[in-house]
Amino acid sequence: MNDGIKKVMVDKAVKPSRRFGLFVIGDEILSGRRQDKHLSKLIELLSERGLNLSWAKYLADDPEQITKSLKDSFLSGDVVFSTGGIGATPDDHTRQCAALALGTKTELHPSAQELIAGRIQSMAEGDPIKADLSTPENQHRFKMGEFPRGSDIIPNPYNQIPGFSIREHYFLPGFPVMAAPMMSWCLDTYYKDLFHQVSWVEKSFIVPEGIESTLTPLMERIETNYPGIKVFSLPSVGDSSKHGVYAQRHIELGIKGEENLIPSAWNALRDGTQALGYEIHDIE
């Protein structure tokens, strides 16, 4: 019989004491003009390292909203990635909001200044007017290097314009092509000690015509009787393009947790589901 393993993360799970979160900032995401790619990418990067994303939040280009959210996250002790709003246009508020949330001010970071100057020179391609750092246009570009006092830079391999980090918050551009390698750099530089610590397994099966309200007491009982195990339920109205149990209304019922805790909880979940009169179909 199929052992019911839908997905095995032979990786490890993050320490319970550390959580990872994500802010995606930008009106263009909330209006639908752009589709967010940061959430799925960060989940992928964390999973590759045996880590999990605990939460994500979308924010408008609203200074009050951004500042409040950052105040809360700075107090949380979480490791937080933030994408968007670190440019130098009027709708870029993240740098100033981070400073406000920390009760400090922004200042031009010397390393960021050097990197931005280098970028200006390379883009000038020998044109002395474009390379003149004193022009209003180039002076404005240096605003992208104004970070909250005490910040460190995050290298940007795409165009050398850095992001910044402070208090385990990592502020990145809104462009996924830039943000993704910068996320990887942050994880590999600061959190290698958290990689691949605990074997983590997720298993599930299909319950045709399952009713969540009927299954909920069983789910609660499993979590109570097997500390460290999480039970999940993913209901579906069915998919007419598929065959068998997937074509009809069903619930995908499963557990996840440390590998050594799984077997007894798994058997209890299967036995309990069948005791309620339901059939079980193992996932192919």
- Give the CATH number of the domain where residue 249 resides: 3.30.70.2520
Parts of the chain with a pLDDT under 50: 1-16
pLDDT at position 17 is 58
Distance between CA atoms of residues 214 and 237, nearest Å: 17
Distance between CA atoms of residues 146 and 142, nearest Å: 7
Beta-ladder partners of 165: 152, 170
139 and 29 in a common domain: yes
**Cβ-Cβ contacts under 8 Å for 190 (sequence gap 6 or more):** 168
Distance between CA atoms of residues 94 and 70, nearest Å: 9
pLDDT at position 221 is 97
pLDDT at position 240 is 77
Whether residue 2 is contained in a domain is answered as no
Contact assessment for residue 270 and residue 280, using Cβ atoms and an 8 Å cutoff: yes
pLDDT at position 199 is 76
Q: Return the half-sphere exposure (C-beta side, CA atoms, 13 A cut-off) of residue 231.
A: 24
pLDDT at position 227 is 94
Q: Amino acid identity, residue 97? A: C
178 and 93 in a common domain: yes
172 and 110 in a common domain: yes
209 and 153 in a common domain: no
Residue 113: CB atoms within 10 Å: 15
pLDDT at position 201 is 86
Contact assessment for residue 283 and residue 2, using Cβ atoms and an 8 Å cutoff: yes
CATH number for 58 = 3.40.980.10
- Does residue 55 sit in helix, strand or coil? strand
Expressed as residue numbers, the domain containing 87 is: 13-194
142 and 56 in a common domain: yes
Whether residue 6 is contained in a domain is answered as no
pTM summary value: 0.83
pLDDT at position 14 is 38
79 and 179 in a common domain: yes
pLDDT at position 8 is 38
Count up the domains in the chain and report the number: 2
Whether residue 5 is contained in a domain is answered as no
Q: Closest Cα partner for 81 from 53, 104, 102?
A: 53
Q: Given 194, 214, 233, which residue is the final one in a domain?
A: 194
